[in-house]
Amino acid sequence: MADTKFIYYFGDGKAEGDASMKEMLGGKGANLAEMTNLGIPVPPGFTIATDVCDAFYKNNRQYPAGMKDELAATLGKLETMMGKKLGDPNDPLLVSVRSGAAVSMPGMMDTILNLGMNDKAVEGLASITGNPRFAWDAYRRFIQMFSNVALGMDMNVFEDILEEMKKDKGVEVDNELSADDLKELVHLYKIAFKGNQNKDFPQDPMEQLQASIDAVFGSWNNPKAEKYRNINGIKNLKGTAVNVQSMVFGNFGDDSGTGVCFSRDPSTGENVFYGEYLMNAQGEDVVAGIRTPEKLSKLASENEEMYGQLVAFKERLETHYRDMQDMEFTIQQGTLYILQTRGGKRTGASAVKIAVDMTREGLISKEEAMFRVDADQLDQLFHPMIDPASKKNLNTLAKGLNASPGAASGKIVFSADEAELWVEKGELKVLLVRKETSPDDIGGMNVAQGILTSTGGMTSHAAVVARGMGRPCVAGCKDVVISGKTMKVKGKIFNEGDWITIDGTTGEVFEGQVETIAPEMSIELIDYLAWADDIRLADERVGLAQKGFLVRTNADLPEDAKLARELGAEGIGLCRTEHMFFEGGKLEHFQQMIVADTLEGRKKALEKILDLQTADFKGIFKAMSGLPVTVRLLDPPLHEFVPQTAGDISAIAKMAGISAKELEEKIESLHEHNPMLGHRGCRLGITYPEIYDMQVEAIITAAVECDSEGDEVLPEIMIPLIGTWQELKILRDNAEAVIAKVFEKTGKKVDYKIGTMIEIPRAALTADEVAEHADFFSFGTNDLTQMTFGFSRDDAGSFLPAYISQGILEKDPTASLDQTGVGKLVAMAANLGRSVKPDLKLGICGEHGGDPSSIDFCYRTNLNYVSCSPFRVPIARHAAAQAVLNNKK
């Protein structure tokens, strides 16, 4: 370990690290080094590598040997370069201490500014700068941050003292306090510190530095950091790095300031320089959203030179990084410093626009563009928005900043904990309302439909995190006054549990629940998805009969099919027929069928459904003319269709000519202990062949009629829940007999396929046998997952959260395919099936068909298509293109 380098210096245009060393220096440290090398004015400093964090935890929170010597030496180098010394009573060096892991975790790791400050240094600083106000302000901020971050003291202790003083002095904002006020404040802070910590505030800068480094490393494993990594699936990092950097000050006076800027608009993606700043303030003031900052355009007019430099730097950085940059800057007495740059978080719309624009500008290739937007961002673009029709009639309750786009309705809750609690209890639609959010609120923000804050700007915590999560957010809505579990807006009181709606795209807030609709697609989005289509449709996989990696949809109704087609679906992968039974008077007849004791009676009841069902299928076939439509025959157990209420029971009993008691007994006899593992799917087809016969007749009759009417129909009949080839053979034979009759009766023929869902483990294990009787397989990974894991989605709620939090499962396997276990079955079935039938068509129709990592798996497993819900189709098109590219590498 003695030869290992722990600390990397940067400063004066030269750095020991660079942007490629993110894993070791963290994103922040690597970029500080890179910027230094680029000649961007970065305050000098050094980065303690993530290796140290790793060693720290592996070695029972002890630092590796040699680290402290290297720290002293590097600090010495910094002091030499800066011409100042830490704690120097005349001209003290002040530094910041920040965390920075390889993956950005905004707000999660803690920061300490102005380190090096003490009773002597403050005087030196006051004297050398001639600005005692500044010096004392820096000191009081340091006490506050150090006590809170390094020692875990409650921030409110200091906030309360500050608030009281402001009230005493009759001022509104901090920077109205005078130097003497601040000196008094420091005095009071130190008293509070001693009261809390039982010792004086540490005066030794090395002690301060060490405690701060300890705190940064310690914060790597604090609960909120762990929670963030959990929610965002961040794994396998060594830890955080620590960046120690000489301070520059935006609060040096009115010729100083600080800001945050983006090289393009992170909300819209437009190629305009975008940002916010505050004069005479430290960075924390902007990010925390305590004071509402100014737009960057104001700087252009107020300080042309600074603005020009800033524009030049942002252009150099964007071109260098070939991506939209999120930068922090500070102006200290007219000198501009860049404190940080990183890839900017962006909304879905902006991600698409930036990717498309940058491709057109020649900055990146189309293939690279495919990885500049992620699925969650894309998803935002298909999130419901408020229906413009209903919006005309709405009165806006209040307006805030349009911090994260999309519309959301929900019941108000006033804390993140409540949000989580309500959702756990099954109250899924909650809307989190806060004065401002903090990293502690991540969990609640994640479960909420949307977030509304009363303070804070576009770069406030709430805004940044909500954009990252794709949650609609209206921030800084000043008309909202929160007090306990009520909120007052323009005199009107709202209580916990009341409905409100926010539109994060416009910043509007509305009372109650408001109708939402699907949004329109931007030209860039249409182009972007067309590029994705080009990539996935041109793909040829070795040994695969068909070209391309297709996307179908799961749709049961003509209107859903139409929507999905507009969103790019290339057919229907799953049309469930059971929903049809609940519509258009079919349920009564189907209930009659269930009640009937004889085959005759059942057939009579089914005959009444036949025409209605035929009409259903015609609607679907017409909506999908020219594209394949996979229709699944009836799947749920019969007891899902029986009448529930006493009134319905007596009505149905009357129709059936039996007593209500007899019907109740019949219903009781249909009860199952484990309905998921019961009498359903093809088991119904075996025991009541007349049901499937009716459905097949309806499908083929509809297909023949559509064909006659000029539609191109490609019906695929899918038999669910097959566990043995024998079931499929019997049901296929039955279906073909019915089809032959329809062809004979109508004198017409259409092409058709008969296949099965692979959703029972046994079917996957014996897929070679099953494939002999199937034209296609569609993996029903919902049931396959539940049976392979041996848990039902309905019941897993009692233990699945513990499974995720204890790391037993990385992700909920019902949401993202378990590639190790369930995936092994899928791959086995695909290979066994193709071993006997090389051109067997393979698809997936479980909900995993819309999940990007599952889609990548499906590509690798040589599936021909994925099928997902209509709104996931664009995400699947994109993920399919990514899969093609990923696996070309």
Q: Which residue ranges make up the site for a second copy (CB under 8 A)?
A: 672-679, 683, 686-687, 721, 723-724, 726-727, 730, 759-762, 765-766, 769, 783, 786-792, 794-796, 798-799, 802-803, 806-809, 818, 820-822, 824-825
Between 582 and 799, whose beta carbon lies closer to a second copy? Answer: 799
Which among 845, 848, 868, 878 is annotated as catalytic?
845
- Least separation in angstroms between residue 417's CB and a second copy is 18
Q: Which amino acid belongs to residue 604?
A: K
Count CA atoms closer than 13 A to 841's CA, side-chain side. Answer: 22
- Least separation in angstroms between residue 597's CB and a second copy is 15
Cα separation, 186 vs 143, in Å, equals 8
- Least separation in angstroms between residue 835's CB and a second copy is 14
Between 395 and 806, whose beta carbon lies closer to a second copy? Answer: 806
- Least separation in angstroms between residue 821's CB and a second copy is 4
Between 182 and 757, whose beta carbon lies closer to a second copy? Answer: 757
Cα separation, 66 vs 574, in Å, equals 63
CB neighbour list of residue 666: distance below 8 Å, 6 or more residues apart: 594, 595, 642
Which among 461, 639, 773, 848 is annotated as catalytic?
461
CB neighbour list of residue 313: distance below 8 Å, 6 or more residues apart: 40, 41, 327, 329, 336, 338
Task: Yes or no: say if 581 and 590 are a contact pair by the CB < 8 Å rule.
Answer: yes
Residue 332 DSSP one-character state: E
Q: Find where tokens 């007749």 sit.
A: 697
- Least separation in angstroms between residue 800's CB and a second copy is 9
- Least separation in angstroms between residue 641's CB and a second copy is 15
3-class DSSP state for residue 605?
A: helix
Between 388 and 807, whose beta carbon lies closer to a second copy? Answer: 807
Terminal CA-CA length for the chain: 36
Which is nearest to 453 in space by CA: 442, 444, 465, 462? 462
- Least separation in angstroms between residue 657's CB and a second copy is 24
Q: What angle do CA 534, 375, 847 make, to 5 degrees?
A: 95
Between 154 and 795, whose beta carbon lies closer to a second copy? Answer: 795
Cα separation, 806 vs 489, in Å, equals 42
| Alpha-helix residue ranges (DSSP H) falling in 670-815 | 682-687, 689-708, 725-746, 761-765, 767-771, 781-789, 800-805
- Least separation in angstroms between residue 828's CB and a second copy is 9
CB neighbour list of residue 800: distance below 8 Å, 6 or more residues apart: 791, 809, 812
Cα separation, 495 vs 429, in Å, equals 15
Task: Yes or no: say if 659 and 651 are a contact pair by the CB < 8 Å rule.
Answer: no
Cα separation, 119 vs 87, in Å, equals 9
Residue 274 DSSP one-character state: E
Which is nearest to 841 in space by CA: 773, 767, 778? 778
Between 657 and 807, whose beta carbon lies closer to a second copy? Answer: 807
Cα separation, 738 vs 694, in Å, equals 9
Query: In this structure, are strands 473-475 and 480-483 parallel, antiparallel, or unpaired?
Result: unpaired
Cα separation, 465 vs 475, in Å, equals 11
Examine the residue annotation and report whether 773 is marked as an active-site residue of this protein.
Answer: no
Task: Yes or no: say if 554 and 869 are a contact pair by the CB < 8 Å rule.
Answer: yes
Q: Which amino acid belongs to residue 417?
A: D
Between 484 and 807, whose beta carbon lies closer to a second copy? Answer: 807
Which is nearest to 452 in space by CA: 517, 510, 387, 392? 510
* CA distance readout (Å), 352 to 325, 381, 524, 797, 874: 15, 10, 7, 36, 12
Task: Yes or no: say if 682 and 727 are a contact pair by the CB < 8 Å rule.
Answer: yes
Between 182 and 728, whose beta carbon lies closer to a second copy? Answer: 728
Which is nearest to 634 in space by CA: 584, 671, 580? 580
- Least separation in angstroms between residue 761's CB and a second copy is 5
567: enclosing H helix or E strand: none
Between 393 and 669, whose beta carbon lies closer to a second copy? Answer: 669
Between 743 and 803, whose beta carbon lies closer to a second copy? Answer: 803
Between 481 and 686, whose beta carbon lies closer to a second copy? Answer: 686
Q: What share of residues in the chain are helix, strand, coil (percent, to 5)? A: 50, 15, 35
502: enclosing H helix or E strand: strand 499-503
Task: Yes or no: say if 433 and 482 are a contact pair by the CB < 8 Å rule.
Answer: yes
Between 236 and 806, whose beta carbon lies closer to a second copy? Answer: 806
Q: Which amino acid belongs to residue 89?
A: P
Examine the residue annotation and report whether 461 is marked as an active-site residue of this protein.
Answer: yes
Taking residue 616's Cβ as centre, other Cβ atoms within 10 Å add up to 26
- Least separation in angstroms between residue 789's CB and a second copy is 5
377: enclosing H helix or E strand: helix 375-380
Q: Which amino acid belongs to residue 861?
A: T
- Least separation in angstroms between residue 733's CB and a second copy is 12
Between 510 and 688, whose beta carbon lies closer to a second copy? Answer: 688
- Least separation in angstroms between residue 797's CB and a second copy is 9
Cα separation, 293 vs 456, in Å, equals 9
- Least separation in angstroms between residue 814's CB and a second copy is 12
Count CA atoms closer than 13 A to 675's CA, side-chain side. Answer: 12
Which residues are the active-site residues?
461, 845
